Structure 1
Amino acid sequence: MTAAVEVEAPQIIDGLSADDYHADRTSISSTGLRALLAPGCPAQFKYDRDNPQAPKREFDLGHAAHKLVLGEGPDFEIIDFPDYKKVAAQRLRDEAYEAGLVPLLTKEHDMVQAMAAAVRQHPVAGPLFTPDGGVAEQSLFWTDPRTGVRCRCRPDWMPHRQENGRLVVVDYKTAKAVDPAALAKAVYDHGYHAQAAFYLDGVKALGLHGDQEPAFVFVFQSKTAPYLVHLVELDFPALALGAARNERALRIYAECARTGVWHGFNDRITYLPLPPWAEKKDHEEYA
């Protein structure tokens, strides 16, 4: 007989800072679960969790766009230089990071303003992000009943659910390209289907969805002019595949936490073939 899993009550925390949310060690997020699976592994996940990385420049535009679209997130500091070649610009950038601000060159600030304007003008995304029409970045905590693992998620935006209406969980992401083929690849490569399934589990665990099945909608926006916006809702097979990945990762996390062993890829020698396209590529190059 399987032992009963102790389930801690679900919880919504308003006003929890992003830093405190990410620093929580009593629960695991969707990002953490995805890091446990290939191409990652538990050992790398634990190291990265215990050794947080410095801010990455490639995330600055996304953070600033989030601030303008959602009204939540770190403030930004405008760096009045065309680039970071000069020492003075580098110093201002580093000071901004130390103060918890997102540094933006003048041209980058103009860019994120245009991006936010494009979202507001979109016939669906604009009304979806009405400032008083929802809640940004609530922190949700619940316990997975199968493994006893404490979970957390932080939806970018949840519009207020009308009476007898469907709850929509919204995630805003910037991307290089937002055509359907590019987005399908990005969703799979980055595990966004697992993120969607995980967040839906969270809102259902907290009973926020009412009598209807909740929806998860991605608002993707291109980082190049004219900053096109593309709203996406994943189909059932994609969500089912994401849920299966989450279940595997939760079981791995539960076992690692129980034993204290955070394993790498393999303790034995791996018999490694070349990719299936390698032979064809060599024949084409040297024919």
Structure 2
Amino acid sequence: MNAYIELTIPAQIIENMSNDEYHSRPEFSSSQLKDMLRSGAHFHSHNIIKEHERESKKHLDFGTLAHTLFLEPEQFHNEFAVIPIDAPKPPTDVMRNAKNPSEDSIKRVQWWDDFAAKHGEKITISAEQLDGAQRIATNLRTLSSYKDMQSNYGMAEASIFFTDPIFGLKLRVRPDYHLAPCKAFPNGLILDVKSTRDARPFKFSRDSGEYGYDLSASMYREGFQQYYQTEEKPPFIFLVAENLAPFNVKQYRASDLLLSVGDTRYYKSKEMLAESLLINEWDGYSKEMEDLFLPSYMTKQALDADFH
């Protein structure tokens, strides 16, 4: 039997699994299923022969910083190191390789080498970046969803592993935060924290489509229901923060229509993946000639425009 496909086994949840350990697991994630929707060749390249490696932990994703401060503030000092305001400028390659470096160059190289040695693999951030992320976390705590998080039992970054009941694929999800089924939320609740440049509805809806947030929501809800055995799948909430000042925030409930589209795309990606695994063929794009159109909203704008 294919190593990625099994008979259905009970879903399990693991708390406090590191992000690196989670991403090294063999089960398929929503990001991988999105690769499959683009093309089998993309999935094969990124996930089977791994031509596309994940970014180094040293790389700062501002959303990750804000996410940590909001959901897991106790982990901040384990993950991040703040560069002091009075720190010297980072040395250039020329300074490091100079045969006769100046005293200033020697001091700058030594300072940054000591800083790196002290903090190891932590992500380095500036005081300005920390201030912005703290403002995001503070603003997110003003949302009504945060009150629900405080009033009911929940978990941040808990990993759920389950088996797709139709195709037998081994899958994994890691909701940013979820509430276990309770009196207030009989089917539980999933909350997903997102950062964006523009959190207004017409902008964030486009982000949701472009980045496949609908598919992720459908997959998270299925894994959740399998583990908790709820009568229905849980509601899904997006907590959205702008990553530029004034760091405004919004909260959105995933609509039935969004989730319906997500269910369709989620099913299609699993079907395509199961078939490709079975026959071991990973097709790229169609080679057929196709007509090209502008996005529908641009066409509508042009047709509705008053040119007189």
- Give the TM bin, normalised by the shorter chain: 0.7 to 0.9
Q: CA deviation at 1:158?
A: 1.1
Matches of 1:170 and 1:217, distance apart in 2: 5
* Equivalent position amino acid for 2:84 in 1: D
Distance 1:131 1:101 in 2: 32
| 1:142–1:170 CA distance, 2 compared to 1 (3 A) | same
Question: Residue 119 of structure 1 aligns with which residue?
Answer: 140
210-219 vs 75-84, which deviates more?
A: 75-84
Deviates more, 1:250-259 or 1:127-136: 127-136
Aligned mate of 1:78, from 67, 78, 82: 82
- In the other structure, the counterpart of 1:150 is 170
Q: CA deviation at 1:42?
A: 2.0
Verify the 8 A CA contact 1:60 1:104 in the aligned structure 2.
no
**Relative to 1, partners in 2 of residues 1:173 and 1:59: Cα closer, same or farther, differing over 3 Å?**
farther
Q: Please give the alpha-carbon distance, in whole angstroms, between the structure 2 residues aligned to 1:21 and 1:78.
A: 26
Match among 212, 217, 223 for residue 191 of structure 1: 212
Q: What is the distance in 1 between the residues matched to 2:184 and 2:145? A: 22
Q: Spell out the pairing of 1:93-104 with structure 2 (5 A cutoff).
A: 95=116, 99-104=120-125
Give the residue type in structure 2 aligned to 1:162.
Answer: C
The RMSD of aligned alpha carbons is 3.2
Tell me which of 242, 248, 253 is aligned to 2:262: 242
What is the CA-CA distance between 1:139 and the residue it aligns to?
Answer: 0.7
Residue 220 and residue 263 in structure 1: after superposition, are their counterparts in 2 closer, same or farther (change >3 A)? same
TM normalised by structure 2 equals 0.76
Corresponding residue for residue 106 of structure 1: 127
Q: Deviations over 1:206-250 (max 9, x none)?
A: 135x34541110100111223222111121121111111011110
The answer to whether residue 63 in structure 2 is matched with residue 65 in structure 1 is no
Note the C-alpha offset of 1:91: 5.6
Aligned-residue offset at 1:21: 0.9
* Residues 225 and 232 in structure 2, CA contact (< 8 A), matched pair in contact too: no
Distance 1:223 1:84, change over 3 A: farther
How far apart in 1 are the matches of 2:139 and 2:130?
A: 14
Residues 84 and 126, structure 2, Cα contact 8 Å, conserved in 1: yes
Question: Alignment partner for residue 39 of structure 2, among 38, 41, 44?
Answer: 41
Deviation at 1:180, TM superposition (A): 0.9
The answer to whether the 8 A contact 1:60-1:103 is kept is no
CA contact (8 A) 1:144 1:151 kept: yes
Instruction: Provide the identity percentage.
Output: 24
| SS class of match (1:232) | strand
Shift of 1:185: 0.9
Q: CA deviation at 1:164?
A: 6.5
What amino acid sits opposite 1:30 in the alignment? S
SS in structure 1 at match of 2:135:
helix
Cα deviation code 1:74-110 (max 9, x no counterpart) = 6111123699973269967x949x9432221121011
Amino acid at match of 1:175: T
How many equivalent residue pairs?
Answer: 267
Are 1:64 and 1:102, in contact at CA under 8 Å, matched by a contact in 2? no
Equivalent residues in 2 for 1:186-225, closer than 5 Å: 186-208=207-229, 210-225=230-245
Q: Which has the higher contact order (CA 8 A, sep 6+)?
A: 2
CA distance, structure 2, for counterparts of residue 53 and residue 134 of structure 1: 29
Amino acid at match of 1:31: S
Which sections of structure 1, spanning at least 5 residues, go unmatched? 282-287
